[in-house]
Structure 1
Amino acid sequence: MLTQMTVRNFKHLREVTIELGQNVVLIGPNNSGKTTALQALALWEVGLRRWNERRKGQNPEKRPGVAINRRDLMSIPVPSANLLWYELHVRDVEREQGRTKSTQNIRIDIIIDGITNGRSWSCGLEFDYTNEESLVCRPLRQAEGRMIVPPEASEVRIAFLPPMSGLAAIEPKLEMGRINVLIGEGQTAQVLRNLCYQIYEDNSNWSKLVRDIERLFGVTLRPPEYLVERGEITMAYRERDNILDLSSSGRGLQQTLLLLAYLYANPGAVLLLDEPDAHLEILRQRQIYQLITATAQAQGSQIIAASHSEVVLNEAADRDIVIAFVGSPHRIDDRGSQVVKALRDIGFDQYYQAEQTGWVLYLEGSTDLAILKEFANKLNHEANQILERPFLYPLNANQPQKAREHFYGLREAKPDLVGIAIFDRLEKNLETGQALTELMWKRREIENYLCFPEALLAYAKHNLPDDLFGMAEAQRREQIMQEIIADNVPPVALRDLSNQWWTNTKVTDEFLDLLFSEYFTRLDLPNLLRKTDYYILAKFVPDNRIDPEIIEKLDAIVEVARRAKPRVT
């Protein structure tokens, strides 16, 4: 079993060390380097195989490297060998007075650690660029010489499987070497029937494969047939009373069949699965992951899978190694902490945002954010830009404990995360801490800061044409709004805007909802301003009515955002 890999200068990976185990899931967004890590393992295996073919048993210090043609890298199809190097940097050239003083090769280093029969071993290989068509491989250089290639490393078999690419209508019979070439090129559409035929010929696992597919999809696989006169392999399945060609099956069934066939065809191997959840609906992803890991264990195989499925993450977090490809790849399922639980409950998308932004904003909902942003824009406050793309976690409740549990769950995975939570007024004290800043409004809720009569009257007459008709309509609407305000606000509160009614009333439910419902009814219009749109009123609040507390909260958001430490990519 492979236990660790270290990669330097390979494609997207400058220098990373990745912990491995029986089942490993590389999780992360598209183009984050997951497939690159799988390809690094495949490159190491090709290099090791070439070295053993040419130099096995010889002193690596005294032997030259072995050449590898880029076309032999079936799992890493590239038009030019230099595309394997980090930022295409294959040489370090030192110049002096415009002339080349010295040239030094930049090498790809891949070091794999493992355990075989209870014995630990380590095998490192380095790769030098030769030209567009080839590269040279040799054991890794060390201060005291080159690493010895341990015999245990030579027993490792690595098999790389990209996602299902469809299914060819006609599939000629292929030898195993050609099957591996096509799989490496991503042409899985050309080999599915051949893989099934190999298993059927071997006969030991065919019944298991049929049983698995029947249990998952309710169809029965028919044995593949080799048509000698045409040199083709055909395959069908029974669905209810119909016999259908395999090409009639859904992509999810084909993907699952490909995975299982590949597992059964490669017992005892290290299986590199690129997006095994591709083409599978959410409900099926968990089931398939459980099946392939159980099958791999029964086959004595090791699974290293790349995915960006949150379902696969949640399933793997309970029992397997999870490596997050966000910035520098790092393990996120440390069993000594609450990371696994936190990520399972919170969701990878939120963890990813925490890594990217370095801070999190807790509000009751997106309406609160819109109101804050409207005030920041009106005040030309520094928070305006910060609130363009914050990591907002809507609490949908006025519960500080909910924010704390979410924040400290994320912080187990990103220890330098900072956050700010702003609640509606509470009848209890908030906690004080440097990591999570907890604040609450002195008024009942944030809408209490924008429901002044001046703002409501300004809203009533806005957006009307500047002509005689518009002026008359503005007066009519203003009069209607004035009457409704008088009907819904106590006279004492109308005379004194510092009255406790403006502070203590839950204005969304007890004032604004009622006011706008009646207002638009009297205008004979549909209600154009519901709770989610109340942020619009902020722009109509006169400058002298903007409470200093609004500025205090915006300042606090800026202060927290400044302390944030986003992950450097």
Structure 2
Amino acid sequence: MIKSIHLTRFKRFSDSTFQIHPDGISFLAGGNNSGKSTLLQAIAVWEFCRFLLDVEKGRPSLLPNYHGQGLGLSDDEFSPISVASLKHLWTNLKSQIPGNDGYSLAIECRWLNVAGVEKRLKLALALTNDRLFIKTADTNLEEADALPAVAYLPPFAGISSRENQMSGAERRAMVGRGLAGGIIRNLIHDMFQVNEKERARLKEGRPKIKNSDLTRLRKEDPWEVLQATMAKVFQMQLEVQPFNELYHSYIRVKCVKGTWDGKKFKRHPNFQPRDLMAEGSGFLQWLSVYTLALSPSVQTLLLDEPDAHLHPSLQTLLVDALEEIVVATGKQVLIATHSTEILRWADHSKILEFKGTGARYLKEDGQKISLFIGLGSSYAPKIDPLRQSKVMLIVENESDARLLKAWTDRLGHQWPNGLVIWPWTGGSTQRKQLFLQLQAEVPNLKALSLRDRDDLELEQVDKATLRDKSVSNTEPTLLLRVWRRRHIENYLLWPAAIARAANCTLQEIVDLMAEHALVVPADFTSKDVADAMVDARGKVLALEDLRSLKHVFNVTPIRIAQEMQPAEIADDVKGLIQEIIAMCTPEVA
């Protein structure tokens, strides 16, 4: 596995060395343009160049004392990453240096072989008349040495409706153009085919596979692991359709829904399998990352923002699933991420923070908060306003704040000026830690934390104040609040307001709610509303289900909130808004 990378004149790094953990997961963190993706791209280019030299000029071209010419290729043959032109590989776009032989860009990777001896391979690149030349600049490789097997996955960009069977070169080109989703069926089909052959081998001469062989297969075989994970995480299995290259023009993979009892997957009766493309982008991105991670041909996996389109819960599940693969196989995974949800739970020693022209692993857990709140992070723009106003509202996402603002307007109140909205998906304990770190940066800080109750026991939420009783909090200027109803969307489920927002009849809304086994009581606004209203899956009914308000009536939560009359707004909401306004009102001396 790779242990260090030295870059010479590659993009923003003119002369930088990066030390990385040779196994396990490393999280590459830092602000935009800090170099996270650049490092991954450099390794991907190194792998591409190494592969080309090995294939086109043979293993001697990677060994010491090779005196052959460099390998030349045109820009349309360069496929590891997407660049506007080959010149963009060079620092400041300058590929020519006076007095230099032309090979002015270099990428060197170092790793340990099975005997623990450090190996190195430095590849140099030159650009002449829009033609790229590659050669080995320095190495201590021997003929029998194995090289790291690297795979790069750029940010997900969706999948195609039709996917042909592709060669290795075509697949690399697709990934390099940022179209990794375009090869997902190829990866799945290959995995399935290998599994079919192995099952046939194990069954040969027997009526069925031996239990011991079946147990090992289910534990180690990538296809078996993939299917078990899909069932466990998504209650789904993949169904690969027969493919014959003589008369099939594209690979077909369908999805089957069902239930997973921990051992077996049971398909829903009469469920009609649907094409992979019909699934959501979050699922497809998750699947593409996980499938590539399972590939036995990959030792070092480079993931560029695999969390970009994933719900926070799926982000955590993906990292957990990758950890299981790493533990089982010893793979090395580098993940460039902006996700505070991922970084919050990651061990600090696995976080490689990018600053200036280099990067270093964090030495203590407290450094994570500094990374989040502005020292090279996307939260930097919030710090200066916070220093001025000294009041903040911590919510799960910006949309929650928009709902509160809409309700405030409908109640005839003025939303506080200067109140800083801080999205943060962690629980109350993590929010308390965030507050304490911010308080060190912003003296006299006041904050109100508000989140969904989700599956927290109702008894853990104070009925009168919405205080989170599950966390000990002695900070006088930090208010930890939790909605008593399961989701903030539960407070939008008043049929009359929804009907006005959706421009439909009241009966249509009532009928749809009945499909979800929900009858909204007359005392909808009361703190004593029936448990069915408190525990309803409001987010599912409003947004997530195929028969949700959003999908059926094309009405969004914010539109519903904007249509609600003061008498239709719940007492919990009214009390919470009053508390926010009071927090932001200057004290009279």
TM-score range, shorter-chain basis?
A: 0.5 to 0.7
The aligned counterpart of 2:550 is none
Instruction: Decide whether aligned partners of structure 1 residues 153 and 348 sit closer, same or farther in structure 2, where only a CA change above 3 A counts.
Output: farther
The aligned counterpart of 1:292 is 322
Instruction: Decide whether aligned partners of structure 1 residues 534 and 130 sit closer, same or farther in structure 2, where only a CA change above 3 A counts.
Output: same
Q: TM (normalized to structure 1)? A: 0.58
The answer on 1:225 being equivalent to 2:237 is no
Q: Secondary structure at the match of 2:248?
A: coil
Instruction: Decide whether aligned partners of structure 1 residues 188 and 360 sit closer, same or farther in structure 2, where only a CA change above 3 A counts.
Output: closer
Deviates more, 1:159-168 or 1:49-58: 49-58
> What amino acid is the match of 2:27?
V
1:86 to 91, 111, 130: 91
Instruction: Decide whether aligned partners of structure 1 residues 35 and 4 sit closer, same or farther in structure 2, where only a CA change above 3 A counts.
Output: same
> What amino acid is the match of 1:33?
G
1:349 to 361, 369, 373: 373
Tell whether the 8 Å contact from 2:155 to 2:306 is kept in structure 1 after alignment: yes
> What amino acid is the match of 1:226?
F
The aligned counterpart of 2:357 is 328
Across the two proteins, how many residue pairs are aligned to each other? Answer: 376
Residues 42-441 of structure 1: pairs in structure 2 closer than 5 A: 42-53=44-55, 54=57, 56-57=59-60, 59-60=64-65, 62-93=67-98, 105=102, 107-117=104-114, 118-140=116-138, 147-151=139-143, 154-203=146-195, 204-226=221-243, 229-240=247-258, 241=268, 242=271, 243-318=273-348, 321-334=350-363, 338=364, 341-344=365-368, 348-352=372-376, 366=390, 406=437, 421=443
Q: What is the distance in 2 between the residues matched to 1:342 and 1:185?
A: 38
Shift of 1:291: 0.7
Tell whether the 8 Å contact from 2:316 to 2:341 is kept in structure 1 after alignment: yes
The aligned counterpart of 1:484 is none
Q: What is the distance in 1 between the residues matched to 2:433 and 2:294?
A: 46
The aligned counterpart of 1:376 is none
Q: What is the distance in 1 between the residues matched to 2:134 and 2:374?
A: 43
Tell whether the 8 Å contact from 2:299 to 2:331 is kept in structure 1 after alignment: yes
Gaps of 5+ in 2: 196-220, 259-267, 393-417, 423-431, 447-476, 478-577
Q: What is the distance in 2 between the residues matched to 1:163 and 1:403?
A: 29
The aligned counterpart of 1:40 is 42
Q: Secondary structure at the match of 2:285?
A: helix
Tell whether the 8 Å contact from 1:196 to 1:224 is kept in structure 2 after alignment: no
Instruction: Decide whether aligned partners of structure 1 residues 2 and 329 sit closer, same or farther in structure 2, where only a CA change above 3 A counts.
Output: same
2:32 to 22, 30, 33: 30
Q: What is the distance in 1 between the residues matched to 2:244 and 2:5?
A: 44
> What amino acid is the match of 1:230?
H
Q: What is the distance in 2 between the residues matched to 1:42 and 1:312?
A: 23
The aligned counterpart of 1:435 is none
Higher CA-based Rg: 1
> What amino acid is the match of 1:156?
P
Q: What is the distance in 1 between the residues matched to 2:142 and 2:37?
A: 27
Residues 398-547 of structure 1: pairs in structure 2 closer than 5 A: 406=437, 421=443, 532=584, 534=586
Instruction: Decide whether aligned partners of structure 1 residues 355 and 163 sit closer, same or farther in structure 2, where only a CA change above 3 A counts.
Output: closer
Instruction: Decide whether aligned partners of structure 1 residues 282 and 348 sit closer, same or farther in structure 2, where only a CA change above 3 A counts.
Output: same
Tell whether the 8 Å contact from 1:164 to 1:189 is kept in structure 2 after alignment: yes
> What amino acid is the match of 1:180?
R
> What amino acid is the match of 2:356?
G
The aligned counterpart of 1:381 is none
Q: Secondary structure at the match of 2:151?
A: strand
Q: What is the distance in 2 between the residues matched to 1:172 and 1:136?
A: 31
Tell whether the 8 Å contact from 1:193 to 1:224 is kept in structure 2 after alignment: no
Tell whether the 8 Å contact from 2:299 to 2:332 is kept in structure 1 after alignment: yes
Q: What is the distance in 1 between the residues matched to 2:18 and 2:332?
A: 15
Shift of 1:421: 4.5
Question: For 1:164-216, what per-residue CA distance to the aligned partner results, in whole angstroms no more than 9, with x for missing partners?
Answer: 32122222222333222212222223211111100000103222111101111
Tell whether the 8 Å contact from 2:300 to 2:333 is kept in structure 1 after alignment: yes
Q: What is the distance in 2 between the residues matched to 1:85 and 1:310?
A: 31
Instruction: Decide whether aligned partners of structure 1 residues 173 and 51 sit closer, same or farther in structure 2, where only a CA change above 3 A counts.
Output: closer
Instruction: Decide whether aligned partners of structure 1 residues 225 and 180 sit closer, same or farther in structure 2, where only a CA change above 3 A counts.
Output: farther
Tell whether the 8 Å contact from 1:321 to 1:333 is kept in structure 2 after alignment: yes
Q: What is the distance in 2 between the residues matched to 1:78 and 1:423?
A: 45
How many percent of aligned residue pairs carry the same amino acid? Answer: 20
Question: For 1:41-71, what per-residue CA distance to the aligned partner results, in whole angstroms no more than 9, with x for missing partners?
Answer: 1222223234444264365364433334433
Gaps of 5+ in 1: 94-101, 141-146, 369-387, 393-400, 410-418, 425-444, 446-525, 539-569
Shift of 1:408: 12
Q: What is the distance in 1 between the residues matched to 2:132 and 2:283?
A: 39
> What amino acid is the match of 2:280?
G
Tell whether the 8 Å contact from 1:269 to 1:302 is kept in structure 2 after alignment: yes
> What amino acid is the match of 1:343?
Q
Q: What is the distance in 2 between the residues matched to 1:83 and 1:19?
A: 25
Question: For 1:500-529, what per-residue CA distance to the aligned partner results, in whole angstroms no more than 9, with x for missing partners?
Answer: xxxxxxxxxxxxxxxxxxxxxxxxxx9xx9
Aligned residues: CA RMSD = 3.9
Q: What is the distance in 2 between the residues matched to 1:422 and 1:354?
A: 23
Tell whether the 8 Å contact from 1:26 to 1:305 is kept in structure 2 after alignment: yes
Instruction: Decide whether aligned partners of structure 1 residues 250 and 367 sit closer, same or farther in structure 2, where only a CA change above 3 A counts.
Output: closer
Tell whether the 8 Å contact from 2:97 to 2:104 is kept in structure 1 after alignment: no
The aligned counterpart of 1:478 is none
Tell whether the 8 Å contact from 1:286 to 1:311 is kept in structure 2 after alignment: yes
Question: For 1:49-96, what per-residue CA distance to the aligned partner results, in whole angstroms no more than 9, with x for missing partners?
Answer: 344442643653644333344334322233432111011011234xxx
Tell whether the 8 Å contact from 1:80 to 1:133 is kept in structure 2 after alignment: no
Deviates more, 1:192-201 or 1:177-186: 177-186
Tell whether the 8 Å contact from 1:161 to 1:272 is kept in structure 2 after alignment: yes
Q: TM (normalized to structure 2)? A: 0.56
Q: What is the distance in 1 between the residues matched to 2:378 and 2:289?
A: 34
Shift of 1:104: 6.5
Tell whether the 8 Å contact from 1:55 to 1:63 is kept in structure 2 after alignment: no
Q: What is the distance in 2 between the residues matched to 1:316 and 1:167?
A: 30
